[in-house]
Amino acid sequence: MRANSVGRQRSTTTRWARGLAVTVVLLSVVSSMGVGVSRGLGGASLPSVPCRGANSASPGATSVLPVVERPTSPTPGSTGPTVLDTLVLFNNTLVSGNFLAGNGIDPSAVAYDPTKGEMFVTNYEAHDVAVISDTTDTVVAWVPVGWAARGAAYDTARGEVFVANEGSGSVSMINDTTHMVLTIPVGSDPEGVAYDAAKEEVFVANEGSGNVSVINDATGAVTKWVWVGTNPWGVAYDAAKGEVFVANRASGNVSVINDTTNTVTKRVWVGTDPWGVAYDAARGEVYVANAGSDNVSVINDTTDTVTKSIPVGSYPRSVAYDAAKGEVFVANYDSNNVSVIDDITNTVTKWVSVGANPWGVTYDAAQGEVFVTNAGSGNVSVIDDTTNMVTNWVTVGSVPQGMAYDTGRSEMYVVNEVQGTVSILSTGSTASPPPLKSATFLGLPVSEGYAVVAAVVVVVVAIAVISGWHLSRRKPTVAPPSAPPSPSIEPPKSD
């Protein structure tokens, strides 16, 4: 009886194992189908373009992906800012109009190279930089850099891009012709980067170590370590005075560095949690957005003292200077508006309501417009600097953050963190946005596609469980008992 019970248990266990194995195989097949569909948009006889992880210097590193030809100018009849194309960085796919991709690699910042007509996009999670041609709006090279690539700045004199790698405590110096990389060790958690054209030096704010690394752009070597305040972040260069202003978030002050001696000549106390910094060349003033105290400190660059403290919205984070109108635009992250400051009176002349959680702000001198990325609502507010009113809302990807203006083509490039995409926007006056395109999965919208896959998985698992249960209840065939062995009789022992 014990042998039969053990055999039945082993048989049941075997059947359950087989059912589980079948389930795993089916799940693997379904998953592979999903991955294959989600990584491309389909189509045949498509051109080959560089895929992610392939540098332009590596021959043969291509992937067949769809590319949509971009127009050389906005669509006829369209007179305002619209999304011309969306570049999906994960697979280097250009889609006409606004496209919500289903995957992402966390792009965080972008720097424009006017000499080559290229955009350099730092990818925080992927630890690389995507080099985008503004002619084709496709990735022409993937440049591996350090961990957690964050800020970026372009060196006009030498044609180099400097990328701060937050996770590895280094700066990657990228040659914009060869895309070769020189890794420069700096301090801990480098964040802000600023280029000093007069001295041909790059100033890197190291948030974790409380100092600034000064890099010679000819040798790529750190020539000086300048100790500043606690948690330095924002950096701005004052060309007129030859000074660099560094906002120290935790210590509530700004360190003024002389670019001849590379020493701190003044510490200016501002508000709480100073973040963004912008230089007003016309009036020789530096504007510092204090996120913790909800105000903006105005620093005179002759006396290096605060001449005015201007109350603004809640949690001001970014600031941009409009040279044509003599105005400063401050994005208030928590109050969902932008404060417009007149740089003569240093007072707020207008409050402009924008989208949710305005993150970045960039000025377009050609069109006289200010672009504001709204991280919470996935769109860009376009402000006319004559009326200081929002003239357009441009829907982009989820959590748009950094952006850069392309002076050569009069286009704005916006990086979307969640989708891992770059939205290419035309510039101009008011126009109706193009229809939104959504990502597809199994020929359906992403949410519905994933729901179908989930339903299939549930059905497969249910079938496997029910089959295993039925098999376990079947009575196993038991062999008839064999005749007991005859007892052995030993012969009697002789005396």
3-state secondary structure the chain: CHHHHHHHHHHHHHHHHHHHHHHHHHHHHHHHHHHHHHCCCCCCCCCEEECCCCCCCCCCCEEECCECCCCCCCCCCCCCCCEEEEEECCCCEEEECEEECCCCCCEEEEEEECCCCEEEEEECCCCEEEEEECCCCCEEEEEECCCCEEEEEEECCCCEEEEEECCCCEEEEEECCCCCEEEEECCCCEEEEEEECCCCEEEEEECCCCEEEEEECCCCEEEEEEECCCCEEEEEEECCCCEEEEEECCCCEEEEEECCCCEEEEEEECCCCEEEEEEECCCCEEEEEECCCCEEEEEECCCCEEEEEEECCCCEEEEEEECCCCEEEEEECCCCEEEEEECCCCEEEEEEECCCCEEEEEEECCCCEEEEEECCCCEEEEEECCCCEEEEEEECCCCEEEEEEECCCCEEEEEECCCCEEEEEECCCCCCCCCEEECEECCEEHHHHHHHHHHHHHHHHHHHHHHHHHHHHCCCCCCCCCCCCCCCCCCCCCC
User: What's the number of domains the chain is made of?
Assistant: 1
Q: According to the model, what pLDDT value does residue 97 have?
A: 84
Over its length of 495 residues, how does the chain's per-residue pLDDT go in tens digits?
A: 444 444 444 444 455 555 555 455 544 444 444 433 333 333 333 334 454 444 443 333 333 333 333 333 333 344 568 888 888 887 878 888 887 776 667 888 999 999 999 999 999 888 999 999 999 999 999 999 999 998 899 998 999 999 999 999 999 999 999 999 999 999 999 999 999 999 999 999 999 999 999 999 999 999 999 999 999 999 999 999 999 999 999 999 999 999 999 999 999 999 999 999 999 999 999 999 999 999 999 999 999 999 999 999 999 999 999 999 999 999 999 999 999 999 999 999 999 999 999 999 999 988 899 999 999 999 999 999 999 999 999 999 889 989 999 988 889 999 998 888 999 988 764 444 434 444 444 444 444 555 666 677 777 777 766 766 666 666 555 555 555 555 555 555 555
pTM tops 0.85: no
Residue 9 placed within a domain: yes
In a domain, 157, yes or no: no
Residue 87: what pLDDT?
84
Residue 78 counted as domain residue:
no
Residue range(s) defining the domain that contains residue 7: 2-38+444-473
Q: Domain for residue 26, yes or no?
A: yes
Q: Is residue 7 part of a domain?
A: yes
**Is residue 14 a part of any domain in this protein?**
yes
